[in-house]
Amino acid sequence: MIKRTLFFGNPAYLSTRNEQLVVSFPESTKKDKTIAIEDLGYVVLEHPQITLTNGLLRKLVQNKTAVITCDSQHLPCSLLQPLVGHSEQTERMRHQLNASLPLKKNLWQQTITYKINNQANHLLQRKKNALKLKRWAKEVKSGDSGNHEAIAAAFYFQSLFSSIANFSRNKKGVPPNNLLNYGYAILRAVTARALVSSGMLPSVGIFHKNKYNAFCLADDVMEPYRIYVDALVYSLVEAGGNISELNQQLKAQLLSIPALDVYIDGKYSPLMVAMSRTTNSLYECFNGNSRRILYPEYM
């Protein structure tokens, strides 16, 4: 079942009653609204004047609903997830922590190969030249020792947004970097949620190792999925509207990311479901039952 994503951009009081999320508007005459907690996958809290009861937080966590809060720039900045996400969590974390270096290098090679191939397919869909990307995807070595990821990314973004002078991917760069930032933050939350549900630690990566990053593994696993954010942002840019500021309409479209259709293992599936298949396949690699991580192919 596809889980719903709720976004709160105005003051609200959130509580629970009869296994429902109850939304009250203290400064409005609107009637209370209720939503079944079991239907929720993500709750995004943007406005600083939102109040939640502890009872609601407990039920959301028990339902494995990702609660995402935003900073003063309206970008997602934190994620609330359960301490215990899987019944075999201790064993699964042990396999993850004991993963050998050659295995992690192989998994990273697979990850980057999929990512570059997806970037190439996206450029081809947009009638742009992707011959270099196709070649680089075949040249990725164990651990991506040749740093093909960075080389491909620079070429890819310049080609994709060639209509924007000197565009480069930079968190503080010109639009549509702002849209990419928001979309990637949502994708990161989707990935972290799936990793926790698969009984793994989102902070212990196969490549990323920054000691200040609590989501190293999420940042690893989401790489081939970034293409779906890129494609959505490209469509928003091509639509010709104002993208200099993230308004409610743009956020609403970016919050559809968990429900986007992706092609994985021979069939289409909602992104949030596909991500769970990816994280489960990653665990199968960690425990020695497989050597292949399952990623989507951009079609």
Query: Would the annotation count 223 as a binding residue?
Result: yes
Distances (CA, A) of 261 to 110, 180, 192: 22, 19, 19
Cβ atoms of 40 and 21 within 8 Å: the answer is yes
Ligand-binding site membership of 139 (annotated): no
Peptide bond into 224 cis (omega under 30): no
Alpha helices in 140-246 (DSSP H): 148-160, 177-197, 216-221, 226-238
Q: Could you tell me which of 163, 164, 182 has the C-alpha nearest to residue 246?
A: 182
The total of other beta-carbon atoms located within 10 Å of residue 291's CB is: 11
Q: Residues 162, 123: contact at Cβ < 8 Å? A: no
Residues 6+ apart with CB under 8 A from 121: 130, 227, 297, 298, 299
User: 40-45 and 66-70: which strand pairing?
Assistant: parallel
The order of strands in the sheet holding 12-17 is 33-36, 20-24, 12-17, 50-52
Which of 215, 219, 236, 228 has its CA nearest to residue 269? 228
149 is in an annotated binding site: yes
71, 77 Cβ separation under 8 angstroms: yes
Can you tell me the distance from the alpha carbon of 198 to that of 150, in angstroms, rounded to the nearest whole number? 29
Residue 64 CB coordination number (10 Å) = 17
Amino acid at residue number 5 = T
Give the residue ranges of the annotated binding site for Mn(2+): 149, 208, 223
Annotation: binding site:
149, 208, 223
